Amino acid sequence: MIALIQRVSRAEVAVAGSIVGRIDAGLLALIGVERDDDEQSAAKLLARVLAYRVFNDVEGRMNRSLTDTAGGLLLVSQFTLAADTHKGLRPGFSSAATPARAQGLFEHLVDLARHRHAAVESGRFGATMQVSLVNDGPVTFWLRVAPREAGRT
């Protein structure tokens, strides 16, 4: 499972012109689900997203996590993150989870996040979404938890 996280001063996602999720300062996490991902992958990825130290401390060093700052978390499904781009000029999607499997795991991730963090919003799986953000920094990181890593702590 993949998360492209961006530290934001604000972010929102709209579907058909209506805002479905909005946060102030925090993290926007674009989520890609791979074929062999499972519930353990989702839990491990969420733990990393919540604990990843991307916010500045009093000395200006990135030593604080989303949990430390109690910032917002906006989760948006993005299947293109699971694309194979290693060769050619067109992405392949054989490594991506099926839409039904990806939806189930994305919704599981959102549910877990809402139980572990106070300020969680999300996009709408499978919808055409417009994502707006102000990247703070800019600060962007690509996190991946492979299924075989999910069982490790």
Q: Rg (Cα) of the chain, in Å, rounded?
A: 15
Q: How far apart are CA 22 and CA 28, in angstroms?
A: 10
- Would you please indicate which residues are annotated as catalytic (active-site) residues? 78-80
Q: How far apart are CA 69 and CA 52, in angstroms?
A: 11
Q: How far apart are CA 12 and CA 22, in angstroms?
A: 4
